[in-house]
């Protein structure tokens, strides 16, 4: 296999070297592939043990949409913060645009998180994000990042 086709995988401990998030706010379990400044593809394994299921909703557990978007943002932050110029920085939301939810996320689901960066200027970036369960896109939108 040639090096151009080699996937860059990050395990949880490697993700924590790039992102400042920790339990219970670290929402990416693994990065399946990424290219600094271009894209990242991650996975979130949704467990019945997630703390948010205690109140959202008792007897009808549904992952909050805001946390799905946060998981996408953390995936995009991997693509940004893995650039040498942003090492040790934090990526914040600068905006969220055109987000649509198409299906509920429940315990046992595995979210595949894909973020492709469209623009990067100075300390800001814009990316398009999609979350999938299997082959079905369950959430999509545009994320604006501010890096400090």
Residue identified by tokens 């990424």 is: 34
Residue identified by tokens 């999509």 is: 140
The closest alpha carbon to 20, from 90, 115, 69, 80, belongs to 90
Residue 113 pairs with which residues in a beta bridge? 42, 131
Phi-psi region of 14 (alpha: psi -120 to 50; beta: other; left: phi over 0): alpha
Helix or strand or coil: residue 54?
helix
Helix or strand or coil: residue 48?
coil
Annotated catalytic residue within 21, 56, 116, 128: 56
**56 catalytically annotated:** yes
Cβ pair 31, 94 in contact under 8 A: no
Q: Which residues contact 92 (CB under 8 A, 6 or more apart)?
A: 145, 146, 147, 148
The catalytic residues are: 56
């Amino acid at each position: 296999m040639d090096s151009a086709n080699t996937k860059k995988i990050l395990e949880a401990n490697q993700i924590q070297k790039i992102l400042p998030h920790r339990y219970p706010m670290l929402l990416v379990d693994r990065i399946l592939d990424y290219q600094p400044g271009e894209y990242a593809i991650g996975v979130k394994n949704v467990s019945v043990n997630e703390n948010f299921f205690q109140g959202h909703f008792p007897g009808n557990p549904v992952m909050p949409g805001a946390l799905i978007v946060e998981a996408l943002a953390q995936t995009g932050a991997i693509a940004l913060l893995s650039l040498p110029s942003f090492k040790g920085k934090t990526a914040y939301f600068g905006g969220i645009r055109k987000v649509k939810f198409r299906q509920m996320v429940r315990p046992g689901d595995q979210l595949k998180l894909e973020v492709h960066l469209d623009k990067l200027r100075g300390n800001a970036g814009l990316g398009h994000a999609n979350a999938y369960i299997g082959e079905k896109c369950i959430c999509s939108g545009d994320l604006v990042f501010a890096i400090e």
